[in-house]
Amino acid sequence: MDHRKPFPMLRLPFVPLQEVFKAMDPFEIINFSIISKRAKAITKQMSFCPRYSIRLFIDETLGIEIRGTDKLGLSMYLITPDKRIDGKIVEIERVGFILRRVYKYSKDPVDEWKQLCIYVLEIFKKQTIDVLSMTMDDFVDQNVSIIDFLRTNVKSVDVCYLFQSEEENDVNEHAAYLLNNLKVNNVLNFLLDMKNGNFDGKIPKNLKELHILSSQWIGYEKLLEIDCKRVVLRDNQISNKQWNLFLKKWIAVETHSNLEYLHLDYREIEEFKTLVLHDIPHEVVDGGVKRTINGYLNSHIEINGGIDIRRVDGKTATFFVFQMEFLAMSVN
DSSP string, 243-289: HHHHHHHHHTTSS-TT--EEEEE---HHHHHHHTSTTS--EEEEEEE
Check: CB of residue 67 under 8 Å from CB of residue 56: no
Instruction: Report pLDDT for 1.
Output: 45
Check: CB of residue 286 under 8 Å from CB of residue 302: no
Helix (H) or strand (E) holding 220: helix 220-225
For residue 85, how many other CB atoms are within 10 A of its CB? 15
pTM (2 decimals)? Answer: 0.89
Instruction: Report pLDDT for 2.
Output: 54
Distance CA 258, CA 38 (A): 49
Q: Taking the alpha carbons of 32, 34, 38, 41 in that order, is the dihedral positive or negative?
A: positive
Distance CA 285, CA 289 (A): 7
Kindly report, residue by residue over 147-157, the tens digit of the pLDDT.
999 999 999 99
Instruction: Report pLDDT for 270.
Output: 94
Torsion of CA 52, 53, 58, 61, to 10 degrees: -50
Instruction: Report pLDDT for 6.
Output: 64
Distances (CA, A) of 103 to 11, 86, 112, 155, 290: 33, 6, 13, 27, 52
Q: Which residues contact 95 (CB under 8 A, 6 or more apart)?
A: none
Distance CA 131, CA 150 (A): 12
Delimit the domains of the chain by residue range.
Answer: 263-331
Can you give 175-214 as a three-state secondary structure string? HHHHHHHCCEEEEEEECCCCCCCCCCCCCCCCEEEEEECC
Distance CA 178, CA 192 (A): 13
Instruction: Report pLDDT for 244.
Output: 97
Distance CA 177, CA 193 (A): 16
Check: CB of residue 49 under 8 Å from CB of residue 40: no
Length of the chain: 332
Q: Within the chain, which residues score under 70 in pLDDT?
A: 1-8, 10, 69-75, 77-81, 96, 196-197
Q: Taking the alpha carbons of 234, 197, 237, 293 in that order, is the dihedral positive or negative?
A: negative
